[in-house]
Structure 1
């Protein structure tokens, strides 16, 4: 998610500095991981004092939150654009993999191990809901078969995560199956766990996707 459209020279300068701070933050994350992220280290890279950056971000956690919002919004925009262009569930799955491979650190920031001592504010959840809404819209076009399952009955009563989407439990079930199984393959691939196994992650991902498309969930 980008900065609001700046109107004045001061606002444009502020947006530019914040963007530069985030760029250096991503470099730090790629080099040493999110727990090592430091505003003072970013300031050193930019050639300014540490306190100077606190005019743009109140602290490390605010900077992490902004990076998380950006990452979620980027994937939400990717999904919406693909769906608007006619992508089905399979198309969204491949869009997800391409997005993840493009920037693994961005992927792990939102779908990897939680950052110790950090708690994301509620508005980041609202951004992430946009991603699931698009997936549910795509899954609604698939016709589930087979009898209802215990999970379907559970999802009938526990659907807050769907953010008010009117999808029936069977569609919720299918969307969850896609989300969890494909993220499982992606997380292992991006972490390098297939490198010593001689397995082609792209073929494994495609096989999982085919399996999901030919089964109820």
Structure 2
């Protein structure tokens, strides 16, 4: 059985969605990053980058959410693009990995956690996040999923982050990205997505962004 080290952040949720869609048996292992559990020696042995998610599959350790999605898709033969769209699938998967994820994460940090002065950083990351989501919105204007009518790991990767759009950008963000919103409404209606979201009922993760949490997450005091 797969061991799935997770919390409810965007990157673990991508993997949770795949696990639920595929029907693979898995055991959840919560990692409370606000408590610093990602820095424990036993977790460091699994992922020296101290990030979730991680899976352990019959002794094989895989970290980084997009690597895990590829690994599981290839293991099961599910949710991969057709052969003639493989390059397109990899391109968009890496677009989420190198664009949507990092810029959204930095935008959240500077909007919600960083101390003043931060105007330049907030402006910079908001611009990039909106630019990236604009690309996605144009892409989804003419197709149901990122690769057309075929549901793939790219859509799972996008769902993980797009769940957070109002928190990343602001409460009115969906007005600017109607096609991404339509995509998300369809994704959220999937039973597997609802089961993935229900993982929050399994463990009470710390929610306070107190001094100890900031040290665990950022390595220093931010306020």
- Normalization by structure 2: what TM-score? 0.29
Where is the strand percentage greater, Structure 1 or Structure 2? 2
Where is the helix percentage greater, Structure 1 or Structure 2? 1
Task: Report 1 or 2 for greater relative contact order, CA contacts < 8 Å, sequence distance ≥ 6.
Answer: 2
Larger radius of gyration: 1
